[in-house]
Structure 1
Amino acid sequence: MFQTNQSTCALFAGTWVRDENYPLYQYSSCPIIDAEFNCQAFGRPDSDYLKYRWQPLNCQLPRFDGAVFLSKMRGRTIMFVGDSLGRNQWESLICMISTSAPSTQTQMNRGDPLSSFKFLEYGVTISFYRAPYLVDIDVVQGRRVLKLEDIAGNGNAWRMADVLLFNTGHWWSHKGSLQGWDLIELGGRYYQDMDRLVALEKGLRTWANWIDDNVDTSRTRVFFQSISPTHYDPSEWSAGATVATTKNCYGETSPMTGTTYPGIYPDQMRVVDEVIREMHVPTYLLDITMLSELRKDGHPSIYSGDLSPSQRANPDRSADCSHWCLPGLPDTWNELFYTVLFY
């Protein structure tokens, strides 16, 4: 942690405070927000959720400055790797920098799995590489095989980045039509299913070994984004609420108060902590889980792209309580990332 007033700053413990200087940018001035994160453009009526700043317990975060970011990162590549929450954060960072340095020429390439945004005059590239499990998925005889011990295919794309920020988590628990694989391969055997936390741990250890074997610490810094919480269960913030009586994050317009975790702390975090602690390459855990848990107000809910009138009328079924609005919470993740990167 960086030093401030000679005391150590606990960046990830603190409170949300109202601040009229926020948000850091307007959605209309950002070149890259996907419809599913663009809540204001798709009719979200309230705006108080944009007015909160994260206040660590015993220090101030430095104010984000995109021009400083670009000059310090000149000639370098930052790559976000993971699922759509990584994409959420990738787009946020580009919005934040673009607003601070509006006259800089840029170039964007959208693709799958790799999308890149370049600030040409600084030679800075900020990329997103889609790999929701980090490990490889191959199609074998028409079936998607999640290879818990194989990561070389994806890893080749990350090899040259100067700053790597990984995330994974949500896709490991998906079932039914949302599940991203048909079979799991482990130890040369195929499985229809297995304990999902065990699968996550095996996959993360494969990733950790790849980092330990392939990252040159003299030129590359590695970050891991902790699990981003969802808000589908109103009993976490409202005593006596049941999923039947209230509509998940729909209609929530203010953060929770307090400094302890109100829900059930994600089991996945225990796995992430354990794996990262055993790595040789220093990997910084950007621990956004607790501070994000308090932000039940920050999700797109029914303002997520072009939902039909009938979808909007049925928030129980259609509210998105896992991604985040932009501007919004991922901007704070990036303020913390900026602090750890440069201070």
Structure 2
Amino acid sequence: MKLQAIEVPPGKNQTRRKTPKKVPLVTFAILFAIIPIFYRSHKKLSIPFEASVRPTSFSDDPCPISDTNDDTPSSNPSESHLVVEEKIPPRPTKHDLPPEKDDVGRRSDQSDRLPTGRKGRPGPKVEEEKEGIRRSVSGRPTKGESYDLDKCDISSGEWVPNLEAPYYTNTTCWAIQEHQNCMKFGRPDTGFMKWRWKPNGCDLPVFDPYHFLELMRGKSLAFVGDSVARNHMQSLICLLSRVVYPVDVSDTSDENFKRWEYRSYNFTIAKFWSPYLVRTQMTDPDDTTRPFNLFLDEYDKSWTTQIDNFDYVIISAFHWFARPSVFYINRRVIGCLYCPETNIAHKSAIFSYRRALRTAFRAINSLKRYRGVTFVRTFAPSHFEGGLWDKGGDCARKRPFMSNEIVLEDDNLKLYEIQVGEHKIAEKMGRRRGLKFRLMDLTPAMLLRPDGHPSKYGHWPVENVTVANDCVHWCLPGPIDTWNDFLLEMLKREGKSS
């Protein structure tokens, strides 16, 4: 088919249909590139190009709470969390930069002591931590993370580094006894202070003294047991010393039965010495190495008649049961442990321990006015290696075990199973009367801490005298401070459940 040209009538000009012009895309690209540059140039005229920042600090706190969230550690542990000020200051000089931290986690330009008032006691309450810092010990999950701490088993986990610890020192807390004051007696390493317990599947918050005191306002807490129970109480007093010290309100001069009051919170702490938890009698009042008479079916009235009005009781004992003792039931001798008599049946510590625990729990369940919560703390194993305590055994390790490096076994396992079993029996009996028993299961965590005992650093060396190493008690500060992380978390759960 041929195409023919179309002729236009004369007198008319030929016109073309106009189509809209398209702006090339490159033009838009150039515009979007120029506008931000112009905007930034304009901003330079009004404020400095780089906003200056300054570290958050509390100069009146010698052992500050971590500025960082434990769930999201910085890639550089020495970095501080920085916050932008409302008024932008000049660019910081070298002297404005945050001070470096020394090897025990304290600010190197700060004193080892709390601000003091009269007689070396703390002065006015230090400024309460800002919300951002309090979040670092609150245990709240970070952005993008979620878990239900209330349903988490906090007894199963691992020890992880905590460079912010310790939260007090042996010079800021008067409650530390000499044989637990490891730094005073020359312990050269400080790494044993710098760990925290990390449960599997969640994060246990580090102890917050402000939260604890508010939670315990108007309440009372008693520690019943042996010297390790006292060690636990002293750790609590030291952790609270960052806020306030208590007042001694004891009605006796006996150091084994003391009471302290935090008056601004109406909160009372008491300790009741009862290493066997049941009635005992010394066979020789002047010699504690001689066998004790243990009346395994009789209450120890030194504490069972005193706890009626307490809101919380932490009961624990174990290590004394390995000492020489004679066992009584119905006021009759039924056996002994390490006794010289050959006409008495020799029984183990497991035998006496089970019966003593059952009697102690029965005593609590028999109290008519007691309505408190009883925490049964499981025992913290000793870590003697190379011999028994009186045969040169020692605990010289410098770091924790991993959970796959050691297991609970032999007598330690049997004793732990007794505690768990007797707690279940007591809990079932208490439920009938509306009483609560809770298991503070610390044995798995403390089995992993051979590095936290005083060892030979609980005293000065004595020439020509051999003193047994202490692998039973715990240095302060030290791993035992974690027990109060457990305590606070369990108290919070109690508050939610009630």
TM-score by length of 2: 0.60
Matching of residue 252 in structure 1 with residue 400 in structure 2: no
When structure 1 is superposed on structure 2, of 325-334 and 141-150 the one drifting more is 141-150
**What is the alpha-carbon distance in structure 2 between the residues aligned to residue 309 and residue 247 of structure 1?**
16
**What is the alpha-carbon distance in structure 2 between the residues aligned to residue 173 and residue 321 of structure 1?**
15
CA drift of 1:117 comes to: 2.2
Give the aligned partner of residue 339 of structure 1. 489
**Bigger Rg over Cα:** 2
Task: From the superposition, tell whether residues 305 and 22 of structure 1 become closer, same or farther in structure 2 (CA, over 3 Å).
Answer: same
Give the aligned partner of residue 353 of structure 2. 200
Which SS does the other structure have where 2:241 is aligned?
A: helix
Kept in 2: contact 1:118–1:125 (CA 8 A): yes
Matching of residue 9 in structure 1 with residue 157 in structure 2: no
Kept in 2: contact 1:227–1:266 (CA 8 A): no
For 1:5, give the aligned amino acid: Y
Give the aligned partner of residue 73 of structure 2. none
Matching of residue 42 in structure 1 with residue 185 in structure 2: yes
Q: Deviations over 1:109-168 (max 9, x none)?
A: 462431222212212111111100111114689795311111151311222221100001
For 2:247, give the aligned amino acid: T
Kept in 2: contact 1:108–1:116 (CA 8 A): yes
Q: Deviations over 1:171-205 (max 9, x none)?
A: 11123xxxxx4x32213312450332111111111
Task: From the superposition, tell whether residues 113 and 268 of structure 1 become closer, same or farther in structure 2 (CA, over 3 Å).
Answer: same
Task: From the superposition, tell whether residues 14 and 215 of structure 1 become closer, same or farther in structure 2 (CA, over 3 Å).
Answer: farther
Q: Deviations over 1:32-52 (max 9, x none)?
A: 100011101111110000100
Matching of residue 211 in structure 1 with residue 354 in structure 2: no
CA drift of 1:263 comes to: 4.7
Kept in 1: contact 2:219–2:268 (CA 8 A): yes
Task: From the superposition, tell whether residues 295 and 215 of structure 1 become closer, same or farther in structure 2 (CA, over 3 Å).
Answer: farther
**What is the alpha-carbon distance in structure 2 between the residues aligned to residue 13 and residue 37 of structure 1?**
27
**What is the alpha-carbon distance in structure 2 between the residues aligned to residue 284 and residue 263 of structure 1?**
22
For 1:325, give the aligned amino acid: C
Kept in 2: contact 1:37–1:304 (CA 8 A): yes
Kept in 2: contact 1:136–1:152 (CA 8 A): yes
Kept in 2: contact 1:14–1:259 (CA 8 A): no
**What is the alpha-carbon distance in structure 2 between the residues aligned to residue 305 and residue 164 of structure 1?**
31
Task: From the superposition, tell whether residues 105 and 129 of structure 1 become closer, same or farther in structure 2 (CA, over 3 Å).
Answer: closer
For 1:197, give the aligned amino acid: I
Kept in 2: contact 1:32–1:95 (CA 8 A): yes
CA drift of 1:332 comes to: 0.4
User: Structure 1 residue aligned with 2:469, among 292, 316, 319?
Assistant: 319
**What is the alpha-carbon distance in structure 2 between the residues aligned to residue 207 and residue 21 of structure 1?**
39
Task: From the superposition, tell whether residues 141 and 21 of structure 1 become closer, same or farther in structure 2 (CA, over 3 Å).
Answer: closer
Give the aligned partner of residue 278 of structure 1. 425
Q: Deviations over 1:234-291 (max 9, x none)?
A: 5xxxxxxx88xx9744432111123464352432111111111112223111111111
Which SS does the other structure have where 1:68 is aligned?
A: helix
Task: From the superposition, tell whether residues 12 and 169 of structure 1 become closer, same or farther in structure 2 (CA, over 3 Å).
Answer: same
Q: Deviations over 1:7-65 (max 9, x none)?
A: 72110111111111111211111121000111011111100001001111111112322
Matching of residue 52 in structure 1 with residue 187 in structure 2: no
For 1:88, give the aligned amino acid: N
Matching of residue 153 in structure 1 with residue 301 in structure 2: yes
Identity between Structure 1 and Structure 2 (%): 27
When structure 1 is superposed on structure 2, of 119-128 and 292-301 the one drifting more is 119-128
Matching of residue 26 in structure 1 with residue 169 in structure 2: yes
Mapping 1:221-240, distance limit 5 Å: 221-233=373-385
**What is the alpha-carbon distance in structure 2 between the residues aligned to residue 213 and residue 81 of structure 1?**
17
CA drift of 1:69 comes to: 1.3
User: Structure 2 residue aligned with 1:130, among 249, 259, 273?
Assistant: 273
Which SS does the other structure have where 1:303 is aligned?
A: coil
Kept in 1: contact 2:175–2:234 (CA 8 A): yes
Which stretches of structure 1, 4 residues or longer, exceed 6 Å deviation after superposition? 140-143
**What is the alpha-carbon distance in structure 1 between the residues aligned to residue 403 and residue 179 of structure 2?**
29
Give the aligned partner of residue 433 of structure 2. none
Matching of residue 289 in structure 1 with residue 450 in structure 2: no
Give the aligned partner of residue 238 of structure 1. none
**What is the alpha-carbon distance in structure 2 between the residues aligned to residue 49 and residue 90 of structure 1?**
20
Q: Deviations over 1:92-118 (max 9, x none)?
A: 00000111x13x563364624312222
Q: Which has the higher contact order (CA 8 A, sep 6+)?
A: 1
Task: From the superposition, tell whether residues 65 and 207 of structure 1 become closer, same or farther in structure 2 (CA, over 3 Å).
Answer: same
Give the aligned partner of residue 178 of structure 1. none
For 1:300, give the aligned amino acid: P
**What is the alpha-carbon distance in structure 1 between the residues aligned to residue 351 and residue 335 of structure 2?**
14
**What is the alpha-carbon distance in structure 1 between the residues aligned to residue 184 and residue 458 of structure 2?**
9
Kept in 2: contact 1:78–1:126 (CA 8 A): yes
TM-score by length of 1: 0.85
Which SS does the other structure have where 1:337 is aligned?
A: helix
